[in-house]
Amino acid sequence: MGRITLEKVRKSFGETQVIPPLDLTIEDGEFVVFVGPSGCGKSTLLRLIAGLEDVSGGEIRIDGRPATDLPPAKRGLAMVFQSYALYPHMTVRKNIAFPLKMAGMSEDEKKSRVERAADVLNLTDFLDRRPGQLSGGQRQRVAIGRAIVREPAAFLFDEPLSNLDAALRVGMRLEISELHERLKTTMIYVTHDQVEAMTMADKIVVLRKGNIEQVGSPLDLYRNPRNRFVAEFIGSPKMNIVEGAEAGRHDAHAIGIRPEHIDVGEGPWEGKVGVSEHLGSDTFFHVHETGLADVLTVRAPGEVNHRAGDKIRLSPQLDKLHRFDRDGLRIT
């Protein structure tokens, strides 16, 4: 079980308020991702839940029981750190067994649990090595192993993949998702990478300056962003924002249209091609001199050739257009 509720949780460091009063419920078994630009308070929020920072106000409940004043070890949560935080002088086996040793578990129980965790994470061959002899991905798995042996109510991940190279990151992303499928334990995952958020989450919490901008499923956020910040943050490449006369024609202060929702060929908009990025499956054009915005990013499916300087016509898919008012809120 791992249902976590935050009620009016606040955090300030001295005078500066990092997290204004905030309410959030994380259901049992959910994979929740906190996402936002750096400095948005997502790591602080995670550390508040972990108990590594004290809240300045409000209440945290884990499975209905108040946990606000509990020390980290008593909350029944396990955390995977960005730097992995493995104990360098211990073997992998001892690293994974450390929380069990601290809990005073018997040797037999310890051994069987460590071996089960090692089995799940494909670490059996490395149990007698030290962290220094492992690759980044293996260290990451040891850190996860140390978390799962405790059978916690929830896992907390603090940007666990940011120290890995791109290829490994994709692999580990999948492994963590599969682990969640298997364990069905609540997971809270902090990242600044919206791709990680979109691919892994059941529920995404978008944060800006400590405020929750929107909570919802990945596709919900993609289709119905509540405001311009969420609209621009979710989706890759970023949504195009057009202000001025063209927005006025749609009765809005600004309109947003994603690169994948603009068709190349015929249409009302015209511009000059700048840089093209050929990915094989898709081609992204940066289009200038449209009179709408500095640059529009456009996705064309497949291999489409336009040279720099070519004039092309564009047509936005009107049903996929987002309209925003003066305060940045989306008009529905």
Partner 1 sequence: MATQHSRAAARFMIAPSVVLLLAWMLIPLGMTIYFSFLRYNLLMPGANPFVGWENYSYFLTDPAFQTAIVNTLLLVGGVLVITIAGGIALAVLLDQPMWGTGIVRIMVISPFFVMPTVSALVWKNMFMNPVNGLFAYLADVIGVQPYDFLTQAPLASIIGIVSWQWLPFATLILLTAMQSLDSEQLEAAEMDGASAWSRFYHIKLPHLARAITVVVLIQTIFLLSIFAEILVTTNGGPGTASTNLTYLVYAESLLRFDVGTGSAGGVVAIILANIVAIFLMRMIGKNLDA
| Chain positions contacting partner 1, by CB under 8 A | 50, 52, 71-73, 77-79, 81-83, 85-90, 98-99, 102-103, 132, 146, 150
Nearest approach in angstroms of CB 101 to partner 1 is 8
Q: For residues 98-110, b (16+ Cβ closer than 10 Å) or e, as one string? A: bbbeeeebeeeeb
Beta carbon nearer to partner 1, 40 or 79: 79
CA dihedral over 65, 146, 151, 169, signed as positive or negative: positive
Beta carbon nearer to partner 1, 19 or 97: 97
Beta carbon nearer to partner 1, 86 or 197: 86
Nearest approach in angstroms of CB 128 to partner 1 is 16
Beta carbon nearer to partner 1, 95 or 194: 95
Q: For residues 203-225, b (16+ Cβ closer than 10 Å) or e, as one string? A: bbbbbbebebbbbbebeebbeeb
Beta carbon nearer to partner 1, 62 or 242: 62
Beta carbon nearer to partner 1, 85 or 168: 85
Q: CA dist 135 to 93, 129, 138, 152, 228, Å?
A: 16, 11, 5, 26, 40
Q: Identify the residue whose tokens are 């054009």.
A: 285
Nearest approach in angstroms of CB 159 to partner 1 is 12
Amino acid at 260: E
Burial class, 191, CB count within 10 angstroms (exposed 0-12 / middle 13-18 / buried 19+): buried
Q: Please, are residues 276 and 308 in contact by the beta-carbon 8 Å criterion?
A: yes
Beta carbon nearer to partner 1, 19 or 96: 96
